[in-house]
Structure formats: structure tokens, C-alpha cells
Amino acid sequence: DVKVTQSSRYLVKRTGEKVFLECVQDMDHENMFWYRQDPGLGLRLIYFSYDVKMKEKGDIPEGYSVSREKKERFSLILESASTNQTSMYLCASSPLWGGGRETQYFGPGTRLLVL
């Protein structure tokens, strides 16, 4: 079974702190994604990565950065956390999308509260 793990299920941080959210997948997937989930808005893509050290902005990258130093690990960084970044953060991974039957596999999520 594909497994995507996230370093924390719950985090409480203060405004202005630097926050690291870690994601690890064990299926040798090329693609990795970070989403945030807010009620009524569905899942919105923050950043994604299609290879080590490669990254692309998603729909809402402002206030976030990412790092992918190893294929299995994709980190989301909040340089200076703000209260409007309180949300559920979901990591996902997928193989290269080559016209087969690929899909995205999700981790359990990190619920972040910024005070």
C-alpha cells in the first residue's frame, strides 16, 4: 500500500514563527503536492514538485515556500506564520502522469493553528 506520512497531526504556533511541515512518501513517486483545506473552499494547491530540487507554484503560493532535497521528502515552510494560515494542510504524491491509471495519494493532514 502507498503510504504518505506527515510529521505532525496537530501544531500550534505563534504569529511570526517559522513553521516546517514535513511529508514523506514510500512509493518512489516523482510528483509531490501541498494543499491547504478550508471549509467551503475545497483543496487548494500551494506548491508541487515533479523532481528533486524542482518546484512549481500552485494557486496560492503567497506566504509559503517548499523544499525537496530527496525524492521521498517534500517540506512546506511558512517563513513567518500568520493567523490567516490557520488551516488543514494536506500532502499528496503521485507517479508521473503518463496516460495510465495514476492518481494522487494523500497523507492524514496537519491541522495548524496560528495564534
Partner 1 sequence: GQQLNQSPQSMFIQEGEDVSMNCTSSSIFNTWLWYKQDPGEGPVLLIALYKAGELTSNGRLTAQFGITRKDSFLNISASIPSDVGIYFCAGQLGTSYGKLTFGQGTILTVHP
Pick between residue 74 and residue 109 the one whose CB is nearest to partner 1.
109
Of 17, 26, 59, 79, the residue at the interface with partner 1 (CB under 8 A) is: 59
Give the residue with the Cβ less far from partner 1, 17 or 56.
56
DSSP readout, the chain? ---EEES-SEEEE-TT--EEEEEEESS--SEEEEEEEETTTEEEEEEEEEETTEEEE-S--TT-EEEEEETTEEEEEESS--GGG-EEEEEEEE----SSS---EE---EEEEE-
Compare residues 17 and 26 and give the one whose CB is closer to partner 1.
26
Through-space distance between the first and last CA atoms of the chain, rounded to whole angstroms: 37
The answer to the question of residue 21 lying near partner 1 (CB under 8 A) is no
Among residues 19, 78, 90, 114, the one that binds partner 1 under rule CB under 8 A: 90
Which residues 24-43 are close enough to bind partner 1 by CB under 8 A?
A: 31, 33, 35, 40-43
> 14 or 52: whose CB is closer to partner 1?
52
Q: How far, in Å, CA of 106 to CA of 90, rounded?
A: 7
Residues near partner 1 (CB under 8 A) are 4, 9, 31, 33, 35, 40-45, 48, 50, 56, 58-59, 90, 92, 94-99, 101-109, 111
